Amino acid sequence: MENNLKKEGKYTYYEVGEGTPIVVLHGLMGGLSNFDGVASYFSKLGYKIIIPELPLYSQNILKTNVKAFARYVKDFITFKKLDRVILLGNSLGGHIALYHSKMYPEKVAGIVITGSSGLYESAMGDSYPKRGDYEYIKSKTESVFYDPKVATKEMVDEVYAVVNDRIKVIKTLTIAKSAIRHNMAKDLPKMHEQTCLIWGKNDQVTPPSVAEEFHRLMPNSSLYWIDKCGHAAMMEHPNEFNRLLEEWLKKVGL
């Protein structure tokens, strides 16, 4: 996927397929390749999958927050001349999708979130591994998944590089504080977009109770569980994730 990125203006993104647009938003430690399974599956079913690189570490510190990222997504959707989109986000990406939908509901046909922040205040801070030796970073990265083998050496290396980069650490902590500040508990009951929640039953970052709270607060939400699954369902169980998402898209007519 990384070899096929498009660069246009200030945007870098991956795009595949034709049809109803699904804009995918990655998380704080998540790469675009985390959604390989989603992209290859749904691009064959009449959907255009677009995955922008979010400017988590490249913007001014004053624009390093959930609200600014949501505005960035809106500008990207406008740049791509898309009308209404389905937003799919994991972890921080889910939070950005929700905040974007709060600010620009006219742009959103539906929302899909998995392991999303936005309600659970310690989700961002606790999941972010502080500096330490490589084995410590490895164990923290593995704990994101039910099956630690999903955390490849390449993934651990990327996290290790981030936590040893002073600027990225400062911006990561800024984002974590922003996620807490932009808690969405009061906003969610007013959001009537069709929403799909797909959650790992063994998610230690945003536990199952968080999914249940999202489901309770969002008027038009459907909640699906994946067993033996941690914080990134689309990576750990891509086939089951795609099956559930396809089932939901058919159910709500998107």
pLDDT of residue 22 exceeding 80: yes
pLDDT of residue 13 exceeding 60: yes
Strand partners for 189: none
Q: Which whole number is the average pLDDT over 59-88? A: 96
For residue 31, the model assigns a pLDDT of 80
Q: Which whole number is the average pLDDT over 156-172? A: 90
pLDDT of residue 193 exceeding 90: yes
- Total Cβ atoms within 10 A of residue 154: 9
pLDDT mean across residues, the chain: 92
Q: Are strands 6-8 and 11-16 parallel, antiparallel or unpaired?
A: antiparallel
Confidence grade of residue 174 (pLDDT, cut at 50, 70, 90): very high
- Among 151-160, 173-182, 233-242, top mean pLDDT goes to 233-242
Dist CA 130 CA 119 (whole Å): 22
pLDDT of residue 141 exceeding 70: yes
Least confident residue range of 39-43, 60-64, 99-103, 197-201: 60-64
Least confident residue range of 22-31, 35-44, 48-57, 200-209: 22-31
Dist CA 132 CA 163 (whole Å): 8
Across the chain, which distance is largest between two alpha carbons, in Å? 49
CA dihedral 63, 69, 71, 72 (to 10 degrees): 100
Dist CA 137 CA 152 (whole Å): 12
Q: Which whole number is the average pLDDT over 101-112? A: 97
pLDDT of residue 132 exceeding 90: no
Confidence grade of residue 124 (pLDDT, cut at 50, 70, 90): very low
pLDDT of residue 68 exceeding 50: yes
Q: Which whole number is the average pLDDT over 50-60? A: 94
Q: Which whole number is the average pLDDT over 46-67? A: 94
Percentage with pLDDT > 90 across the chain: 80
Q: What is the pTM of this model?
A: 0.94
Look up residue 31 and give its DSSP letter: -
pLDDT of residue 254 exceeding 90: yes
